[in-house]
Structure 1
Amino acid sequence: MNIRLTIDGHAVDATLNDSTTARDLVSLLPLTLDVEDFHQTERIGYPPRKLDTTGAPDASHPKAGDLAYYAPWGNLALFHRDGEHSPNLVILGRLSDPSDTDRLATAERIRIEARS
């Protein structure tokens, strides 16, 4: 599924994978999240409910540009730097243009919506 993220007013395209968790995120769209820094690697925000992680891998190794879901806390994570191997982290998709990761580093609000 193609989505559009609006990061502090700037449109950025991304593509979600076909996982149960990504499809559950789509059911919440459009979604606006206030985000904050986590370890100077990712911006995190909390959707209104936890997402379904049925069939998700036990762990992931996120890269800059990944959109992910951290199951224990119930937060979305947008990586602007490569992250460490993380149990319970589900990769949902990626930004279409890797250069857009620079915008994530200082983002305060992100809107996620479906795109045709």
Structure 2
Amino acid sequence: MYKTDRKKTVVLLFAFILTAVFSITTVHARKSEAPRYTIQITLDDVVAIGTLDNTPTTRDFIAQLPLTVKLDDYSATEKITYLPNKLTTQGTPAGITPNIGDITYYAPWGNIAIFYQNFSYSHGLIKLGEITHGLEHFHYRGSRQATIELVDKN
């Protein structure tokens, strides 16, 4: 009987330790993950969703939302719009190589650029986040009116 109780105690203690370690790791991971912002971009009657990183540049951008803007096609690669006020570039890298779906800020011109094609390294380009749903809506010619608004901070 003693051996059976001891085995049960060891198994329960082991399970308790594993649960405690998992809980601590999960709580630490949640605390270390910076919150992200969700934006909605409405183009006519379609909606695209984007997620933005929590950075000083992004927070400057969010402070200007909601915005109704004209999204112009630029070089059959990206959609751009100029902001009413420039964003901070403090602590940002010198530039990035954008990927399809990236939401960026081009500091030299003061514009937001949403890439629907890959592009080469660009000095002064700062990644804000990415389009997570509806990237196909950016494959149009010319210009379209768009409303960009903050949906959630998660």
Provide the TM-score with structure 1 as the length reference: 0.92
**C-alpha separation in 1, matches of 2:135 and 2:118:** 11
Deviation at 1:89, TM superposition (A): 0.1
Instruction: Tell me which residue corresponds to 1:31.
Output: 67
Structure holding more helix per residue: 2
Given candidates 82, 102, 105, the residue that maps to 2:136 is 102
**C-alpha separation in 2, matches of 1:110 and 1:63:** 22
Given candidates 20, 27, 31, the residue that maps to 2:56 is 20
**C-alpha separation in 2, matches of 1:9 and 1:60:** 32
Deviation at 1:20, TM superposition (A): 1.0
Deviation at 1:2, TM superposition (A): 1.0
**C-alpha separation in 1, matches of 2:112 and 2:44:** 17
User: Within 5 A, what are the aligned runs for 1:48-63?
Assistant: 48-63=84-99
Deviations 1:68-104 (A, max 9, x none): 000000011011111111000001011113xx22211
Ranges in structure 1 where 5+ consecutive residues have no aligned partner: none
**C-alpha separation in 2, matches of 1:81 and 1:60:** 14
Contact 2:48–2:135 (8 Å) recurs in 1: no
Contact 1:43–1:105 (8 Å) recurs in 2: no
Ranges in structure 2 where 5+ consecutive residues have no aligned partner: 1-36
Contact 1:61–1:83 (8 Å) recurs in 2: yes
User: Within 5 A, what are the aligned runs for 1:59-74?
Assistant: 59-74=95-110
Identity %: 36
Higher Rg: 2
Deviation at 1:42, TM superposition (A): 0.2
Provide the TM-score with structure 2 as the length reference: 0.70
Structure holding more strand per residue: 1
**C-alpha separation in 1, matches of 2:96 and 2:76:** 18
RMSD: 1.2
**C-alpha separation in 2, matches of 1:112 and 1:11:** 10
**C-alpha separation in 2, matches of 1:8 and 1:63:** 25
Poorly superposed stretches of 4+, deviation over 6 Å: none
Equivalent AA in structure 1 for residue 139 of structure 2: A
Equivalent AA in structure 1 for residue 138 of structure 2: L
Equivalent AA in structure 2 for residue 30 of structure 1: P
Instruction: Tell me which residue corresponds to 2:80.
Output: 44
Query: When the two structures are aligned, how many residues end up with a matched partner?
Result: 114
**Greater RCO, 1 or 2 (C-alpha within 8 Å, sep 6+):** 1
